Structure 1
Amino acid sequence: MAASSASNTRLNEACSLLVQSPPGQTSQVYHDLRGILFDAESNAADKIDDAKLQAAAAVALQEYNTQQLVTATLDADASGSSANAVVICQAGQAPNQPSDAQAAPGVRRYIHPRLQKTFLFDHIKRTVSDVQDLEPADEEAEEQRKALEKALDEYVRDRYPDGVSSVFAVSSAPVHEAETLAESVQKAAESDASAPAENTAAVSADKEDKDDEPSAESDEAAADDKDDPVAAVEAAEAVESSSAAAPAAAAAPRVPVKTTYVLHHVGNRYNLSNFWSGRWRASYVVDVEARVLTASLGVHVHYFENGNVQLNASRPRTFSLTSSGAAAIANEVATLVAQHEDAWQAQLEQAYDQLAEHAFKALRRQLPLTRQKLDWDKVLNYKLGDQLARS
């Protein structure tokens, strides 16, 4: 038990490091962690095999890929179209997921909204398989989604040479309406449970009319039920549950559906041969009914030549929308996205210019107290005491 607990602890720590992988370096981090975990000198009871490591890594990589907005491509053979990329995210998960017993670890089904397709994505191998057609969504929601998609695509093509964007329509029931529905169903069930079982009496009366002379076997079965209290209670509970469930299901009102639109775009730049990589992530949620745009930006840059320096920054913000109509809302959202990202980019550049000019220079003196550069070839000839006294 202690050895198993120790191996699980090591796996959890390794997966936490895997989730923190810099952009474009999950494979390197995975192989390094594998070399650390597979220590030849470790105890036999504490060893971690490949199957256990891959199962744990599948969960970690699914979290990493979803958070970092990695992309997947449906090629022409699979989609019947030219190569098209889509962002892997939580909003893009297909609603009908296979059970855990049927799905392989780290394999989930996602939606390609532009092509109206669904596909299986392997979070470990980052491969696409089993592409299927997607049923068309609500026409009004799809019209707004396509307008937002067109506006976002134009913006991303202009600003991010290798950027990928996706727009998803997410439908859900409002919380207060879902609670009202649950209360109405509960009240209907309670009222039906307290009322006499009229339907049951009617059914039994009809049966008596049809069967004027019941058989001896039915009489014996009824007598056995009367003599057996457990069977009698179970029969009564079954009748009450069936009579209460039918009116409750029939009286359940239809919950109105609320649609929000999730916009993602991501730009990746990998240059590992020159020891740097970076990723820009942007996520927006458009609530048309509330006329609110929620933004969340994130940038992660890694320099690792003779060192290890990372920039990991994020910025959330909320905007109000004033337009109406699918095209007008899409144009306003694209304008706000451009203004927001340009402003944050300028602030980042200004902050790091000040960091180089002020913060780093404040860490050390640029010149010694003599206000002159030190000639290290003549350092033994300096009369440091006299010069320090004159300074």
Structure 2
Amino acid sequence: MAGEEQSQETELSNKQKIEIAKWFLLNSPAGEIQYVAKDIRSVLNDDNVYNIAASEAFPLYNKSHMIRLEMPGRIGDVLVTSFGELNENEYLDPRTAQVAIVDHVKQLCRELRPALDEELPSPYIEDYRCALDAEITKYVGEAYPKGVCSVYCISGKDVEEPGSDFELVVVISAARHSPQNFCNGSWRSIWNIEFKDELQVLEIKGRMQVGAHYFEEGNVQLDAKHECKDSTIFQAPDDCAVALTNIIRHHETEYLASLQASYSNLPDTTFKVLIRLGMSWENLHKNCSRYLVKKNQVRTSEGSFQLHVPYSRGITLCNLALQEISQKNLELENKIPQKKVYGMFF
């Protein structure tokens, strides 16, 4: 019977396998895509399918996580971001005026070339960019021991004198990878700064993202995001740089403090509430079943695909476990009438 059911399963096409492989690669925790890629390559057992999936997924992952790559000659690090992307494999490092040619799949910087004049901002814009880069570099060195930053001009780079608007973006990336201790973490922040000459104001929009993965005796992931806005007055390059760095420092410090406070209070607030919460095991069983069946499908541009053994086996095992818990809970309630049984769902 089981053999007949397995024979009726439709074999995935290569296009579907590529989409599923890309989904797993793109959802890898920070710093762990190479481990995931190794397992996917083994499961696929088809180098052609794997190479296509990897060539499409790695560039997206690297830019999303804003990874740092050491440049040849140890002259510094280049950040792989969409802001410095010149083409598929070339990324500008504004600080050194060099263009890094990278291998996305191996996550290496292969070689360098000098940036062309048209790839760099005008001297007027460079004064603001360079001053801000210097201040941000000092701040990142103090706040993030393994952090890297870069400042790009993403609009108005050809402006030669006062009278026109332009936009800079500050990118900060820091990561701490410690697989031997079963944990990895990352910090990413992007600060868009619009220099509005007519209004003599600088408008700032910030996006911060914290990721963490702890996998000793369990599997816990954190993905926290925060956005904010601020403004300051248009000044000389050095004064603008100091003011902008102070604003960025304030918002990032405030956000990190709020994160630390909220998680420090978990044992005394959230967990205690959960422990005292009356749990309806029957409803929990139904909701978990629906959730797991939904999660068991991989949605891609090619449609939704049901994952078969060994992935789908987790749903059956979870359902059986919940049924057993529900039965034990029912038996206990029958023995102790007029009392609720409490529990915590992880």
The normalised TM-score by structure 1 is 0.62
Partner SS state of residue 306, structure 1? coil
One-letter amino acid of the structure 1 residue matched with residue 59 of structure 2: Q
- In the TM superposition, what is the alpha-carbon distance from 1:135 to its structure 2 partner? 3.0
Is 1:125–2:106 an aligned residue pair?
A: yes
What is the Cα deviation at residue 172 of structure 1?
Answer: 5.2
Q: Does 1:6 align with 2:3?
A: no
1:275 aligns with 2:182: yes
CA RMSD of aligned residues (A): 2.4
Counterpart of 1:309? 220
Q: Deviations over 1:246-275 (max 9, x none)?
A: xxxxxxxxxx98531111111111110110
Cα gap change, 1:257/1:15 in structure 2, threshold over 3 Å: closer, same or farther? farther
Matched residue SS, 1:288: strand
Measured in 1, the distance between the counterparts of 2:11 and 2:130 equals 51
1:1-391 maps to which residues of 2 (within 5 A)?
6-38=13-45, 49-76=46-73, 82-94=74-86, 97=87, 108-136=89-117, 137-171=121-155, 259-289=166-196, 291-364=202-275
AA aligned opposite 2:113: Q
The C-alpha deviation readout for 1:167-202, integer Å capped at 9, x for no partner, is 1112359xxxxxxxxxxxxxxxxxxxxxxxxxxxxx
Give the structure with the higher percent helix: 1
- Asked if the contact 1:87–1:265 (Cα under 8 Å) also holds between the matched residues in 2, the reply is no
Q: Contact conserved, 2:72 with 2:112, CA < 8 A, in 1? A: no
Q: What does the per-residue CA deviation read over 1:118-166, in whole Å, with 9 as the maximum and x for residues that have no partner?
A: 1211110112124111134300011111011001001001111111111
Query: Per-residue deviation at 1:323?
Result: 3.8
Within 1, Cα distance between the matches of 2:156 and 2:20?
Answer: 36
Match of 2:342 in 1: none
**d(CA) in 2 for partners of 1:57, 1:31:** 11
Normalized per residue, the structure richer in strand is 2
Deviation at 1:10, TM superposition (A): 2.4
Deviation at residue 3 of structure 1 after TM alignment:
8.1
Percent identity of equivalent pairs = 26
CA distance in 1 between partners of 2:260 and 2:146 (Å) = 21
Unaligned runs of 5+ in 1: 39-48, 77-81, 98-106, 174-255, 366-383
Once the two structures are overlaid, the 10-residue window that deviates more, 335-344 or 163-172, is 163-172
CA distance in 2, matches of 1:159, 1:34: 38
User: Residues of 2 paired with 1:323 and 1:259: CA distance?
Assistant: 12
Distance across 2 between alignment mates of 1:33 and 1:257: 50
Shift of 1:35: 2.3
Of structures 1 and 2, the larger Rg is shown by 1
Per-residue deviation, 1:349: 1.1
- What is the number of residues matched between the two proteins? 259
Using the size of structure 2 for normalisation, the TM-score is 0.70
Preserved contact between residue 171 and residue 257 of structure 1 (Cα < 8 Å): no
Equivalent AA in structure 1 for residue 180 of structure 2: S
The 8 Å contact of residues 17 and 49 in structure 2, kept in 1 or not, is answered as no
SS of match in other structure, 1:91: coil
Select between 109-118 and 7-16 the one with higher mean Cα deviation: 7-16
Measure, in 2, the Cα distance between the counterparts of 1:357 and 1:8.
49
Q: 1:36, CA displacement in angstroms?
A: 2.3
